[in-house]
Amino acid sequence: MTEPIREDLAAIPRYVPGKALPEALKLSSNEVPYGPLPGVAEAIADAAAHVHRYPDMGVVRLRDALAARLGVDPERLATGTGSVALIGHLLQAIASPGSEVVYSWRSFEAYPIAATVAGLKSVQVPNTADHRHDVDAMIAAVGPATRAVIVCSPNNPTGPAVTAEELDRVFDAVPESVLVVVDEAYREFVNDPALPDAVERYGDRPNAVVFRTFSKAWGMAGLRVGYMLARPDVADAVRRCVIPFAVNGPAQAAALAALGAEDEMRRRVALVTSERKRVVMAARDILPDVPQTQANFFWLPLGERAVEFAAHCERSGILVRPFAGDGVRVTIGLPEENDAVLEALRSFAA
Ligand SMILES: *Cc1c(COP(=O)(O)O)cnc(C)c1O
């Protein structure tokens, strides 16, 4: 590698965005299919008149609104350009020479990238045979160099969420000096009441960090707004790492408008989760090992045939997200879109 570039950067896997082709059915990036929530486009248009000014760097109104919603002090929140950016900032805030971060694998592809950029060593713990976090193996992987354990629940790209009992075990097993980072990007899609809400259940633990985002259920992937809850000094450390003025004015205004449309968000999420139930049942008739999912996507454990299935879908004008040699993640879309995926799966398996 050419100097002066850091040598370890060459080893970072590139983030592979879900494909986008005009005209194609895009089921590759876990977006919701209904457009922005009511009021969001208007809020952006209004805010557009002020883009010659810097945005509110403290993101005060949005943080206050989120704090009120979650019932926490705004000092405990940090915002950033998507929770992907914030996860990176958190890892920067905790990295020191030789330190490690533990997470399951396969999980969100941004974790190894963020860890390496921050200078943390990744300790990847294989998922169980049914594509869930292996919580006990993750606990066993925590050592003296561990600074954080990331729990992705529901897990992207496989779909299952961790149970309260499993997450209790993690919190009870790791020392308080190790952060337990719960990435709840898909929390709004969880409809099993027995599954834990990390803010409610663990929000007061000193080592709990919870990530949420406006990108998925709130329909704002294109505007890049995510947030994080932690104890005040951890949130403060992350805010120090965030690039100044990260969340722009239209994005702040849009997020506030989206929070005002929560009922509509819930209505749309219910459409997604009812489709999810139907589609996963139908997919299991073709591929019995499809894991249970609590997110707005499902996982096809196709192993060596993953890339081939994605190419098969693409020939029918459907974009899905393959992970070579492992499986394919498919976003739940509109009913006719989901039917097209099921049809592609049927013709592929036949
Ligand atoms: C989509 C996603 C995010 C959120 O990404 P943004 O940067 O907020 O758009 C975070 N974590 C996981 C696991 C995701 O799938």
The pLDDT tens digits for 52-75 are 999 999 999 999 999 999 999 999
The verdict on the CB of residue 183 being under 6 Å from ligand 1 is yes
Model confidence band, residue 260 (pLDDT cutoffs 50, 70, 90): very high
Higher local confidence (pLDDT), 234 or 23: 234
Nearest CA to ligand 1 atom 7: 82
- For residues 140 and 280, what is the distance between their CA atoms, to the nearest angstrom? 33
Residue at token pair 């109104």? 61
pLDDT the model gives residue 4:
86
The verdict on the CB of residue 190 being under 6 Å from ligand 1 is no
- For residues 188 and 16, what is the distance between their CA atoms, to the nearest angstrom? 24
Q: Which atom of ligand 1 is nearest to the CA of 157?
A: 15
Residue 260: C-alpha distances to residues 71, 146, 304 (Å): 17, 40, 45
User: What share of the chain has pLDDT > 70, as a percent?
Assistant: 99
Model confidence band, residue 235 (pLDDT cutoffs 50, 70, 90): very high
Q: What are phi and psi of 197, to 5 degrees?
A: -95, 115
263, pLDDT greater than 80: yes
Residue whose CB lies within 8 A of the most ligand 1 atoms, among 89, 108, 113, 321, for a mutation test: 108
Higher local confidence (pLDDT), 131 or 350: 131
How much is the average pLDDT of 93-97?
A: 95
List Cβ neighbours of 148 (8 Å cut-off, separation of 6 or more): 90, 91, 94, 101, 102, 178, 179, 180, 181, 209
The verdict on the CB of residue 139 being under 6 Å from ligand 1 is no
What is the CA(2)–ligand 1 centre distance, in A?
32
Domain ranges across the chain: 7-30+263-349, 40-259
- Other CB atoms within 10 Å distance of the CB of residue 173: 16
The verdict on the CB of residue 84 being under 6 Å from ligand 1 is yes
Model confidence band, residue 126 (pLDDT cutoffs 50, 70, 90): very high
What is the CA(125)–ligand 1 centre distance, in A?
20
Residue at token pair 């499809």? 290
What is the 8-class DSSP label of residue 318? Answer: E
**Domain with residues 7-30+263-349, CATH architecture:** Alpha-Beta Complex (3.90)
* Prediction pTM value: 0.96
- For residues 244 and 232, what is the distance between their CA atoms, to the nearest angstrom? 19
241-246, long-range: CB within 8 Å, 24+ apart, which pairs?
241/89, 241/90, 241/92, 241/93, 242/78, 242/79, 242/80, 242/85, 242/86, 242/89, 243/81, 244/57, 245/54, 245/55, 245/57, 246/79, 246/80, 246/81, 246/85
Q: What is the CATH number of domain 40-259?
A: 3.40.640.10
How much is the average pLDDT of 104-128?
A: 97
The verdict on the CB of residue 213 being under 6 Å from ligand 1 is yes
